[in-house]
């Protein structure tokens, strides 16, 4: 495992072409406190909405999160959801997009209504009929140049009409001619249209449908996969078996069953996107088929612990390979981009996120009391820690006594602290905007009016908590005593 972790930097090599059904996944969060008098249904009092890329877009997000580069070909409607998809792609690093607008069909959109961590309803807006001939020809015209500049092609098929038989066959033909792999996340009962692909990644349900009988164990999965390999000239099949891991079946090779680590599952939506993204990146990055399947299996097991359409970062994958699921003290110290994702995941799980900040130089009982009170007011606590340069500006040339590495290591050892983020500014305002805490905690020597970030936190429905102060405790007084 540690050997695989040390080689994850190889993921930065090579581009991937992703073609498939693009979607926008909307999440509307709120609370249910009563039943409607109009009908026996809950009334959701909404307080927050998010929108993320779904379908083939989630595959792209996973490739980008793992450090890969990707070109995208897809179809959107001439509507707000299509514009939102375009904007979301622009925000991703290493992504080049070819979006074809079709005024005759809406952008596929799935809206989920969530109370706490419980999904109440999903509303879909889509047209799943095959795309018109002129749109199909536009996509086919893009293929030669697109395939020429990549090392692999992913076909992300959600059966929403973009991946017509003609587009699939032409993609596979051109890819084979160029000597690059084609990996398909298949749907439906007709797998014949994927004939000649390098890899298929069906889940248990999809494989059962095409096999015509339930897949109840690994042996049945292997038999069904070998039938696909034989019937449709497929090089390998990676069967996703949920809690039982994955089964890798290759031509003229023994099948390999890779188990997954047991963990709490919050949401399986999008896990297949994570698997195919990781598998493809690994295969083009000089990992062999077994190593690639192992990495994909681990990445899939991580993402089911998140809520909603999500992706796995290279740091998360590396941490899992090095340490397993248990979080070490070192893992608690994260960067700004990571904490934004972590805090959003907690909120999607219905957890209350807290934030407090300080220099925490020479930890004393006053600090411990503040942290305990802060942790009691929330489910997850994030600490904003002043950098050495920031402390020096605020406290004078002789401070800090301990550098930021030592201070963060001490904080990370405390059970009340979930994550630590170092900031270099004089105030944590920008970091607070990134974390978007539900609870902002400061000592009672402040008033709510002069707590940095209080107006922002209150604007999104959060609250400010003033913690009781332990009299006579301060780092400055401790230093003075030491000097005497």
End-to-end CA distance of the chain: 52
Lowest-confidence pick of 146-155, 325-334, 363-372? 325-334
Residues 334/421, Cβ–Cβ less than 8 Å: yes
Task: Write the CB contacts of 169 (distance below 8 Å, at least 6 apart in sequence).
Answer: 193, 195, 196
State CA 93 to chain mean position distance. Answer: 15
CA atoms within 13 A on the CB side of 152: 28
The CA distance from 311 to 340, in Å, is 13
Q: Give ranges for CATH 3.40.1190.20 in the chain.
A: 2-323
- State the chain's mean pLDDT as an integer: 88
Which string of b and e fits 214-246 if b means at least 16 CB within 10 Å?
ebeebebbbebbbbbbeebebbbbbbbbbebbb
The CA distance from 46 to 110, in Å, is 17
pLDDT tens digits along 29-51: 888 889 999 999 999 988 888 89
- CATH class, domain 2-323, is alpha beta
pLDDT tens digits along 196-234: 999 999 999 999 999 999 999 999 999 999 999 999 999
| Superfamily per CATH, domain 330-483 | HUPs (3.40.50.620)
Q: Token pair of 232, please?
A: 């449709």
The CA distance from 144 to 36, in Å, is 56
pLDDT tens digits along 70-117: 999 999 999 999 999 999 999 998 999 999 999 999 999 999 998 876
Tell me the catalytic residues: 273
**pLDDT attached to residue 325:** 46
For 89-197, where are the E strands, in sequence order?
95-102, 108-115, 118-125, 152-156, 181-185
At 349 the three-state DSSP class reads: coil
Residues 136/167, Cβ–Cβ less than 8 Å: yes
Q: Give ranges for CATH 3.40.50.620 in the chain.
A: 330-483
State CA 184 to chain mean position distance. Answer: 21
């Amino acid at each position: 495992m540690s050997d695989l972790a040390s080689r994850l930097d190889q993921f930065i090599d090579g581009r991937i072409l992703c073609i498939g059904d693009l979607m926008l996944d909307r999440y509307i969060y709120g609370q249910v406190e009563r039943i409607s008098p109009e009908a026996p249904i809950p009334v959701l009092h909404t307080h927050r909405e998010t929108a993320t890329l779904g379908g083939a877009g989630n595959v792209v997000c996973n490739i980008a999160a793992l450090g890969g580069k990707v070109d995208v070909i897809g179809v959107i409607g001439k509507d707000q959801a299509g514009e939102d998809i375009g904007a979301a792609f622009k925000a991703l690093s290493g992504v080049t997009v070819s979006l074809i607008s079709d005024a005759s069909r809406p952008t596929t959109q799935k809206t989920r209504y969530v109370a706490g961590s419980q999904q109440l309803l999903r509303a879909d807006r889509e047209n799943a009929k095959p795309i018109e001939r002129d749109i199909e020809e536009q996509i086919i015209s893009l293929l030669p140049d697109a395939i020429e500049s990549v090392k692999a092609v992913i076909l992300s098929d959600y059966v929403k009409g973009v991946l017509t038989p003609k587009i699939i066959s032409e993609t596979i033909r051109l890819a084979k001619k160029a000597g690059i792999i084609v990996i398909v996340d298949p749907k439906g009962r007709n797998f014949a249209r994927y004939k000649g692909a390098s890899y298929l990644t069906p889940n248990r349900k999809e494989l059962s449908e095409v096999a015509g009988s339930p897949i109840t164990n690994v042996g049945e999965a292997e038999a069904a996969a070998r039938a696909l390999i034989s019937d449709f000239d497929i090089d390998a099949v990676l069967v996703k078996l949920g809690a039982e891991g994955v089964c890798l079946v290759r031509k003229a090779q023994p099948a390999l069953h890779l188990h997954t680590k047991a963990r709490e599952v919050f949401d399986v939506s999008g896990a297949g996107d994570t698997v195919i993204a990781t598998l493809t990146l690994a295969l083009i990055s000089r990992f062999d088929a077994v190593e690639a399947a192992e990495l994909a299996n681990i990445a899939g097991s991580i993402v089911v612990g998140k809520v909603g359409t999500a992706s796995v970062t290279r740091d998360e994958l590396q941490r899992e390979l090095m340490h397993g699921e248990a979080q070490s003290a070192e893992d608690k110290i994260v960067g700004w981009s990571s904490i934004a994702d972590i805090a959003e995941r907690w909120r999607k799980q219905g957890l209350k996120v807290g934030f407090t900040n300080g220099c925490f130089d020479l930890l004393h009982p006053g600090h411990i009391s503040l942290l305990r009170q802060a942790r009691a007011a929330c489910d997850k606590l994030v600490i904003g820690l002043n950098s050495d340069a920031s402390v020096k500006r605020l406290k004078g040339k002789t401070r800090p006594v301990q550098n930021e590495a030592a201070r963060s290591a001490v904080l990370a050892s405390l059970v009340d602290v979930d994550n630590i983020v170092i900031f270099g500014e004089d105030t944590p305002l920008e970091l607070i905007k990134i974390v978007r805490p539900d609870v902002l905690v400061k000592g009672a020597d402040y008033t709510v009016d002069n707590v940095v970030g209080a107006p922002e936190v209150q604007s999104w429905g959060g609250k400010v908590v003033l913690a009781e102060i332990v009299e006579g405790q301060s780092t400055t007084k401790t230093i003075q005593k030491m000097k005497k």
